[in-house]
Amino acid sequence: MVKVKRSVFSLLLFLLSAVSLESFAQSEKKENYLNNYVKFDLSLGQNIDIPPSAAEKNAGLLGSRNRVVPFFAAKATHLFSEKFGWYGNLRIDFYKERKAEIYEENVFGKFFEDIFNSILGPISKIKPAFDAGMVYRIEQKRWSLMPSLGLGYASYGSNRFSSQTQTNDSGESVKLTYRQKAAFLSGNIGLSGTYYVGQQNYFTLNAGYQHPLQSSTALLIKEINGVEKERTSYRTNDAGRNIIIGIGYGVVFGSRK
């Protein structure tokens, strides 16, 4: 009889434990599901450039841009745990690049540049950039703050190559070759503030800083009768330092608490 009571007690304890574990698993599953959702937002704003010093030697060889330009961005954020998530952000800046000084002096280069801009002007003003990384979640019912840290790819202007040969007054063949590399990997930090107007919709305020991790360079080579006579170069790690501020609207895919 005692053995039967012990068996029944053991069975009841086992069933109780199983039910408790199942309830805990369902609760954890529900909790994880509620914490796991995707945000997608579109935003407009201003990209503020911190230009390299114009006083640096040969700085005029590198093209430049207006200090403040507009941008459009599309950002997706996947929040996969209670405190962390990841994001991907596509930003398109709109500006007309200011050509390097060599382009101002080069008649043929300016001529072809004018033809390019007249045919593909709007397209030439589109400057895409992309970054992706991790976010940290600080959330309440109606609002959230999400600091982020990521890596990206951006540009300070176009990668260019130009070569021109002319004959000078002395009958010598003079060749000028110009190269510009202004695309680079970047480090990105940001802070997104969100205010939810419903369970699935929100307004967002985004701020960020982009810092180049690679140098932008420009090179001008002068040859006379096939012999290099002059080489002028410029290199900077400061081109492409940007402060980005924008506002937008987004939607949530999944369930929030």
* Residue 170 confidence (pLDDT) above 80: yes
Higher pLDDT pick, 28 / 53: 53
| Overall average pLDDT of the 77-90 stretch | 94
**Domain covering 37-253, topology:** Porin (2.40.160)
- Across 16-25, 92-101, 132-141, which has the greatest mean pLDDT? 132-141
Looking from the CA of 55 toward its CB, the CA atoms found within 13 Å total 0
Calpha distance 173→165 (Å, rounded): 7
Distance of CA 35 to the CA centre of its chain: 26
Residue 27 has what pLDDT? 41
What is the tens place of the pLDDT at every residue in 183-207? Answer: 999 999 999 999 999 889 999 999 9
Could you state, in order of their start, the residue ranges of all structural domains in the chain? Answer: 1-35, 37-253
Side chain identity at residue 169, one-letter code: D
| Phi/psi at 94 (5° precision) | -120, 110
* Residue 1 confidence (pLDDT) above 90: no
* Residue 93 confidence (pLDDT) above 50: yes
Calpha distance 114→219 (Å, rounded): 22
| Phi/psi at 240 (5° precision) | 105, 10
Cα–Cα distances in angstroms (integers) from residue 9 to residues 13, 18, 203, 219, in the given order: 6, 14, 57, 86
* Residue 179 confidence (pLDDT) above 70: yes
β-strands 173-181, 216-224 pairing: antiparallel
Cβ proximity of 141 and 257 under 8 Å? yes
Would you put residue 113 in left (φ > 0), alpha (ψ -120 to 50) or beta?
alpha
Residue 100 has what pLDDT? 76
Least confident of 22-26, 87-91, 102-106, 178-182: 22-26
Looking at every residue in the chain, the average pLDDT score rounds to 82
Closest CA to 250 of 30, 89, 35, 46: 89
Residue 168: pLDDT band (50, 70, 90) is confident
Least confident of 97-101, 130-134, 252-256: 97-101
Residue 30 has what pLDDT? 41
Residue 119 has what pLDDT? 53
Name beta bridge partners: 191: 147, 207
Calpha distance 96→93 (Å, rounded): 10
Cβ proximity of 43 and 244 under 8 Å? no
Residue 123: pLDDT band (50, 70, 90) is confident
Cβ proximity of 247 and 203 under 8 Å? yes
CA-based torsion, 25, 27, 29, 35: positive or negative:
negative
Residue 167: pLDDT band (50, 70, 90) is confident
Higher pLDDT pick, 21 / 95: 95
| Overall average pLDDT of the 74-89 stretch | 95
Can you read off the two tokens belonging to residue 54? 């114009």
Distance of CA 97 to the CA centre of its chain: 19
Angle, alpha carbons 130-210-38 (nearest 5°): 50
Cβ proximity of 157 and 182 under 8 Å? yes
Calpha distance 84→139 (Å, rounded): 11
* Residue 25 confidence (pLDDT) above 50: no
pTM, entire model: 0.77
